Every structure is written in C-alpha cells, then in structure tokens.
C-alpha cells in the first residue's frame, strides 16, 4: 500500500496519531493541573488554619501572662478594666474574639457586650487544670478555631483564677484562603498553558515524523511489512548511513550465514567476503552483481535510499544463484558435448567426401586407411573417457571440452591412468570444478607459446578423488589471490570461475592448490563419499 493512500485512509478513520496523542496529553494535563490545584488549595487552607491556631494560642498565652489581666480578674469589676484592653488587642491582632472569663464560665469580656456576664460556650477543663489547649468549636459567633489558656494568680503558677479564650472564625480563615486563591489559580493556569504549548509542539513534531498516520494504520503497516519482509524469498538487508544493519529478514540471514541478531552491526563485522563487504560499504548502485559468499553464489542488487533527496542508507536484495550456477555448469557440459557432436558430424562429412573422392579416383586402399585412422582416434578418446568415468555428466563434459580445445587449437590430453568411479560427490560440483579448471587452462594455453597443451588427470586413492590440471601457459603471478572473486588474467571477464571452484571444493570438504608456473598446475583433493544406491 502506498504512503499517500495510507495517509488518506488514516485521516478518514480516526485522525493522526499526533492528534490522538495531543488529545490524551491535554486530558492528562487538565487532570494533573486540577489535582495539583485542589491539593494546593487544601494545603493553603491547612496552612491558614495552622497559622490561625498558632496565632490564637500565642495571643491567649500573652494575655494570660499580662500583669494587668492577672490583677484585674480578681477585682470587683473586671469588665471595666479588661473590656477596653481586650478589644484593643483584638483589633490590633485581627482576631475574631477574645473572651476573659471566670472559672465558672462567666464572661468578663466579649466583642458583643450583650454576651458579657453570660456563660462561655466551649471546653475549659484542660485550662482549669493549668494547660493551654486549642480546638475547633461552634460558639455565639459560629465555628471558630480557638485557644483557651489559664490565668494564674499573681505570684502563683498553679492557682487558676480566670481563663482567656482567643478565637478566629472559620469565615475569617476562608477569607484568608480566598486571598491566597488567585495566586494558586494563576500558577495552575501558567502550568496548564506551558504544558499545552509543549504538548502542541510535541504533537506537531510527531505528526511530521509519522507522516500524519494514525495508530491503527501504523500498527497495520508494521504487521503487514513485517510479514512481507519475512515471507519474501529474496534476502533483504537495510543499512543506515553509517553502514550498520537496521533490518535483515530470514532469507538474508540464511544466504549470508548470519546469526540470530545482527541489528546495529557494521557490514565489516558480518563475516562477509571482502568483495561483498566492500560493495555494501560503498553503498553504490549495484544491479545483479554476482558475488561469492561462503558456499553460495549470490546475485546482489543495491539501491541507495535517498528520501527527500538526502542519503540515509541503502536497500540490498540478495538472490541465491548457487543452484542455478550448478545447473548452468551441467547445461554447459551438455552444450559442449552437443557442440562436439556437431563438430564431429561436420568433420565426419568432410572425411566422408574425401573418402568417396579417393574411391572414385581408384585409390581404394588410401581411402580405407584415411577413414579408419580418423575414426580410430575419435573412438579411442570416447572409449577411454566412457570407460574411465562413471559419472555421465562428467564424461560428457570431458568429451565436450576435448572437442572445444581441438577447435581452438589446443590439445587436451587425458592421462591414460584416469579412473573415476562412484564418488558420491554431486555431479554439479564436479562439473563446476573440472569445467572451470579446464576452461581456464585452455585460455591460459592459448596465451602461451606452441605447443599449446592441457593435461588432465583424475584418480581415486585412499578414499579421496584427486584431480590435476596443467597447462603450457605463462602461469599465474599471484597464487594467493587466484581464487578470489574478481581476480582474472583476461582482458574481459568477471573473475568468477576459480572463485566458484574454491567454493565447490570447500563445500565438499576438499582442498585446492596452485603451482604458479610457468605452466600453471591446479591440484584438487576431495573426500569420496559413500555411493548412493538407486
């Protein structure tokens, strides 16, 4: 599914992921701000109540310790002295009421003069025992936070002669809280505004990064693409700009022989052949390039990834060419055999015409000698190969290569001691090894001086199949690099044949070596397997 179609469908379904996230963030932000605001208001109210309680206690204890008050409470008319004094203190301290009373609750002072002489409402037991205490109580002025302190007789610390109560009404406390509320709300509003702006910026960035896709389309695309990547029969490798693996599917792991997880590794850390690692590191355009990796022949295509004109890595596809290469080798051997038959048929026609002409000229003995001599040479070669080599494909290959070498002016000599029975080695691998070695030997012989010859020997000894191919060419200059993919002495060519030989030999647990020359000699040793009965 193309990205524009997915975008349109996403908008039709439920909106972009960024928009949904913005809504969720806004909801969470509002809930958090409201919770914090409510907590702040509650904390502020508790703080005001605690301050009012401490203030009432301090004022009550101060008045109780005043010498004026301690002397006035025992006079005949305490109200005349205390009412003006207490009301002045109440006004100065902004408290709701200050009441001085006798131990029997009779009020000496009150903000409402009509309450003077009446009994005080509230608890006084602790104060009568000489202890200051605080409480919340509903009196004549309504609910209030109050402190009650004992007034001791002059010169005594235990004789309670009166009590003083200082209170601040809940209404007054609420007014103080209301005064602090605008600041709390202002902070909450600022937090909400900053959070909303941050959420909008995050949403905007996320919308760009997700191309406006919604959560469901993103999840669906991930599921589809993951299924496709692991189901395709081609190997797929995604590299970032630093040449590190970002994605590898199952087929690519199999073809490259990778372990379970290579995400994040550099291409040079994957154990690939130097040529393939170089190709991937360059991140250049590559179309159907053939590379040898381990025991496989891979067709590699690489496309640099440049979204919006900037390079971010490369997409690499891999196809297994191993089986096709083996089939191609067998097909080449059959084609070469057919070509040799065609060539022999052409030569047979020429010999037949020559023989007929000799007969017509009355030279019968010479005609018989000419015909039988040519037939004997061809028949001896065919008989020798068929008798010495039980593998039909390999026998056809040898006959075809012999005919090809003859047509190109090179003599292919097959050692008379050649003998190959049942080896259990796959015929395709034998064709790959022998065919490529003979092709290279014939090309090398053509580059040398006459006589141009190639000698082949095949034999079995001590459970191994031994192969030796020697030519009369100039030899090789760098035997250490001869089996590397890309190495070649030809003006044109991919340098793949000897790399395939090394690969097939390694796959079958054998060894291959080369003698530099002049006149290079390649030796191959392969373990013989048990014959498979049909």
Do 135 and 166 contact (CB within 8 A), yes or no? no
Contacts of 367 (CB under 8 A, 6+ apart): 354, 355, 356, 358, 359
- Three-state SS for 151? strand
Angle between helices 322-360 and 427-446 (to 10 degrees): 60
Write out the two tokens for 164. 């003083």
The more confidently predicted of residues 384 and 488 is 384
Task: Please state which of the ranges 181-185, 330-334, 496-500, 522-526 shows the lowest mean pLDDT.
Answer: 330-334
pLDDT digits (tens, 9 = 90+) for 421-433: 888 888 778 888 8
Task: Please state which of the ranges 34-48, 122-136, 319-333 shows the lowest mean pLDDT.
Answer: 319-333
Check pLDDT > 50 for residue 349. Answer: yes
Predicted model pTM: 0.44
Mean pLDDT to the nearest integer, 319-327: 66
Check pLDDT > 70 for residue 413. Answer: yes
- The number of helix segments (H) and strand segments (E) in the chain equals 14, 14
Do 443 and 486 contact (CB within 8 A), yes or no? no
The more confidently predicted of residues 281 and 321 is 281
For residues 498 and 468, give the distance between their C-alpha atoms in angstroms, rounded to a whole number.
14
- What's the angle, vertex CA 444, arms to CA 441 and CA 447, rounded to 5? 155
For residues 511 and 504, give the distance between their C-alpha atoms in angstroms, rounded to a whole number.
10
Do 160 and 150 contact (CB within 8 A), yes or no? yes
Beta strands in 277-339 (DSSP E): 286-293, 296-305, 313-320
> Alpha carbon 138 to chain centroid distance?
69
Question: What are the contacts of 459-464 at 24+ separation with CB within 8 A?
Answer: 459/415, 459/417, 459/418, 459/419, 459/420, 460/419, 460/420, 460/421, 460/423, 460/528, 463/527, 463/528, 464/510, 464/525, 464/526, 464/527, 464/528
- Three-state SS for 234? coil
Do 514 and 437 contact (CB within 8 A), yes or no? no
Check pLDDT > 60 for residue 401. Answer: yes
Task: Please state which of the ranges 301-315, 325-339, 496-510 shows the lowest mean pLDDT.
Answer: 325-339
Within 13 Å of residue 54, how many CA atoms lie on the same side as its CB?
Answer: 6
pLDDT digits (tens, 9 = 90+) for 235-247: 888 888 888 888 8
The more confidently predicted of residues 486 and 512 is 512
pLDDT at 315: 87
pLDDT over 70, % of the chain: 68
pLDDT at 325: 58
Q: Which residue has the tokens 């647990």?
A: 509
Check pLDDT > 60 for residue 13. Answer: no
For residues 100 and 167, give the distance between their C-alpha atoms in angstroms, rounded to a whole number.
12
Mean pLDDT to the nearest integer, 398-408: 79
Is the torsion defined by CA of 11, 14, 18, 23 positive or negative? positive
The more confidently predicted of residues 61 and 46 is 61
Check pLDDT > 80 for residue 175. Answer: no
Mean pLDDT (the chain, rounded): 76
Mean pLDDT to the nearest integer, 111-122: 88
Contacts of 328 (CB under 8 A, 6+ apart): none
pLDDT digits (tens, 9 = 90+) for 213-266: 556 666 666 666 666 666 677 888 888 888 888 888 878 887 787 876 778 888
Mean pLDDT to the nearest integer, 315-344: 66
DSSP 496: -
Within 13 Å of residue 199, how many CA atoms lie on the same side as its CB?
Answer: 18
pLDDT at 164: 92
Is the torsion defined by CA of 477, 483, 485, 491 positive or negative? positive
> Alpha carbon 432 to chain centroid distance?
39
* Confidence band for 491, pLDDT divided at 50, 70 and 90: very low
Contacts of 143 (CB under 8 A, 6+ apart): 136, 137, 169, 170
Bridge partners of residue 454, in order along the sequence: 412, 471
Do 531 and 422 contact (CB within 8 A), yes or no? yes
> Alpha carbon 397 to chain centroid distance?
49
Write out the two tokens for 137. 């109580």
Query: Taking Cα atoms as reference points, which of 231, 294, 237, 301 lies closest to residue 265?
Result: 237
For residues 183 and 525, give the distance between their C-alpha atoms in angstroms, rounded to a whole number.
92
pLDDT at 168: 82
Buried b (16+ CB within 10 A) or exposed e, 177-194: beeebeebeeebeeebee
């Amino acid at each position: 599914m193309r990205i524009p179609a997915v975008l349109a469908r996403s908008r039709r379904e439920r909106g972009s992921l960024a928009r949904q996230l913005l809504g969720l963030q806004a909801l969470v932000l509002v809930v958090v701000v409201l919770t914090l605001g409510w907590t702040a208001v509650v904390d502020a109210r508790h703080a005001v109540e605690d301050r009012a309680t401490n203030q009432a206690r301090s004022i009550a204890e101060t008045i109780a310790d005043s010498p004026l008050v301690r002397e006035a409470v025992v006079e005949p008319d305490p109200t005349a002295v205390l009412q003006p004094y207490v009301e002045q203190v109440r006004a100065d301290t902004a408290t709701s009421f200050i009441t001085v009373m006798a131990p029997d609750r009779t009020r000496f002072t009150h903000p409402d003069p009509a309450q003077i002489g009446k009994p005080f409402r509230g608890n006084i037991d602790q104060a009568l025992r000489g202890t200051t205490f605080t409480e919340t109580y509903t009196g004549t002025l309504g609910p209030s936070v109050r402190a009650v302190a004992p007034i001791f007789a002059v010169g005594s610390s235990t004789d309670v002669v009166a009590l003083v109560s200082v209170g601040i009404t809940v209404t007054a406390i609420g007014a103080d809280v209301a005064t602090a509320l605008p600041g709390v709300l202002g902070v909450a509003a600022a937090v909400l505004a900053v959070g909303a702006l941050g959420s909008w910026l995050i949403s905007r960035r996320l919308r760009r990064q997700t191309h406006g896709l919604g959560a469901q389309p993103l999840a669906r695309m991930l599921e589809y693409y993951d299924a496709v990547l692991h189901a395709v029969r081609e190997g797929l490798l995604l590299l970032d700009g630093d040449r590190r693996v970002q994605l590898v599917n199952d087929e690519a792991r199999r073809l490259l022989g990778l372990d379970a997880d290579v995400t994040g590794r550099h291409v040079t850390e994957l154990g690939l052949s130097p040529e393939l690692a170089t190709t991937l590191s360059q991140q250049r355009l590559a179309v159907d390039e053939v590379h040898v990796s381990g025991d496989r022949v891979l067709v590699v295509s690489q496309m640099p990834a440049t979204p919006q004109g900037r390079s971010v890595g490369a997409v690499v596809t891999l196809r297994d060419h191993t089986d096709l290469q083996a089939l191609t080798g067998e097909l080449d051997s059959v084609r070469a055999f057919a070509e040799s038959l065609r060539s022999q048929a052409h030569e047979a026609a020429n010999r037949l015409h020559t023989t007929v002409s000799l007969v017509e000229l009355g030279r019968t003995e010479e005609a018989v000698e000419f015909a039988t001599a040519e037939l004997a040479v061809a028949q001896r070669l065919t008989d020798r190969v068929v008798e010495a080599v039980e593998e039909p494909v390999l026998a056809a290959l040898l006959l075809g290569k012999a005919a090809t070498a003859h047509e190109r002016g090179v003599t292919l000599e097959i050692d008379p001691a050649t003998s190959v029975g049942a080896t259990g080695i796959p015929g395709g691998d034998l064709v790959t090894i022998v065919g490529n070695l003979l092709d290279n030997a014939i090309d090398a012989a053509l580059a040398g001086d006459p006589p141009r010859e190639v000698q082949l020997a095949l034999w079995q000894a001590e459970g191994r199949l031994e192969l030796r191919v020697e030519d009369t060419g100039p030899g090789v200059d760098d035997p250490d690099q001869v089996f590397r993919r890309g190495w070649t002495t030809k003006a044109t060519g991919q340098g793949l044949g000897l790399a395939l030989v090394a690969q097939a030999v390694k796959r079958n647990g054998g060894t291959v070596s080369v003698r530099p020359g002049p006149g290079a000699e390649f030796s191959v040793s392969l373990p013989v397997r048990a014959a498979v009965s049909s």
